[in-house]
Amino acid sequence: MPDDVQPSYRRILLKLSGEALMGEQEYGLEADTVHRVAAEVKAVHDMGIEVCIVVGGGNIFRGVSGAASGMDRASADYMGMLATVINALAMQSALEEIGIHTRVLSAIPMQTVCEPYIRRRAMRHMEKGRVVIFGAGTGNPSFTTDTAAALRAFEMNCDVIIKATKVNGVYSEDPVKNPGAKRYDRLTYREVLEKDLRVMDATAIAHARENNIPIVVFSVHDAGALVDVVQSKGNFTLIEDGG
Ligand code: UDP
């Protein structure tokens, strides 16, 4: 590692929504995007940072959409969780192609596909330099993968949750719909909840606050942004306690 590179974190949890792996498509996985994100993960892993990833599934299936079309909500949520495992396997494949050792651990056991989630095992994998990819969210319907990210970050003693989005931080409104939306550099957990800023659901924010885990929001579309973020450089929004 060059002398001027100073990672701010020892162990990070990266939250990749399904959308972050979708690229310009309306649905599913875009191979180029998955490979690009994998290269970003490799770059931070090469800096000596331990990395675990929680993947979403919204690019394939969301429980609310299933419920909207008349399906039982819990079943639809299980379908959503299975979708996250598909994304986890795609990330695993892209990372292994570029020489990163990985393990996928699923909160819903499916032993022929990947390992079941066992906390101490996940820890051990990371200590050995493997990138751990958590699939199936929390394993429970009616939660989100953002909440899974907050939960796993706590369990893995991560220094930070880094949430990859389409925009370079948290805005007062959707900046795609309203170009005049205000961008925040820093926020407290309380402000996110009070202003109802839809960066992560309230359960995830509350859990991160409870355990004092900072959240960093950045754009996964900006090349090299993750390497910058782990050195506290570039564009991002930091959410933490007001002190
Ligand atoms: N899901 C769930 N429990 C969890 C995590 C996810 O039931 O702990 C389901 C839920 O239906 C959700 C879907 O999986 O809509 C996909 O996850 P999410 O919407 O969080 O993915 P993202 O928005 O990050 O792509």
Residue 157 pLDDT > 60, yes or no? yes
Nearest CA to ligand 1 atom 6: 144
CA distance 131 to 135: 13
- What pLDDT is stored for residue 74 in this prediction? 97
User: For residue 63, how far is its CA from the centre of ligand 1 (angstroms)?
Assistant: 7
pLDDT band per the 50, 70, 90 thresholds, residue 16: very high
Residue ranges lining ligand 1, Cβ < 6 Å: 17-19, 56-58, 62-63, 77, 80-81, 83-84, 137-138, 140-141, 143-146, 148
- Name the residue of 27, 60, 71, 77 whose CB sits within 8 Å of the most ligand 1 atoms, as the mutation to test its pocket: 77
Mean pLDDT of 194-207: 95
Q: Candidates 33, 53, 81: which one to mutate for ligand 1, based on the most atoms within 8 Å of Cβ?
A: 81
Amino acid at 132: V
pLDDT at 2: 58
Q: What is the pLDDT of residue 1?
A: 56
Q: At CA 136, angle to CA 88 and CA 29, rounded to 5?
A: 35
What is the per-residue pLDDT for 203?
97
* Closest approach atom of ligand 1 to CA 15: 24
Average pLDDT over residues 208-225: 95
Mean pLDDT of 49-75: 95
Band the pLDDT of 66: cuts 50, 70, 90: confident
Residue 153 is predicted with a pLDDT of 98
Residue-wise pLDDT tens digits, 106-124: 999 999 999 999 999 999 9
Task: Give the DSSP per-residue string, 95-164.
Answer: HHHTT--EEEEESS--TTTSEEP-HHHHHHHHHTTPEEEEESTTSSTT--HHHHHHHHHHHTT-SEEEEE
In angstroms, what is the span from residue 2 Cα to ligand 1's centroid?
A: 39
* Ligand 1 centroid, distance to 127 Cα (angstroms): 28
Confidence of residue 3 (pLDDT cuts 50, 70, 90): low
Q: What is the mean pLDDT of the chain?
A: 95
- Ligand 1: distance of its center to the CA of 122 in Å? 21
Q: Which atom of ligand 1 is nearest to the CA of 139?
A: 8
CA of 135 to the centre of ligand 1 (A): 10
Q: How far is the CA of 7 from the centre of ligand 1 (A)?
A: 30
Sheet holding 186-188, edge to edge: 115-116, 102-106, 131-135, 50-55, 11-16, 160-165, 215-219, 237-240, 186-188
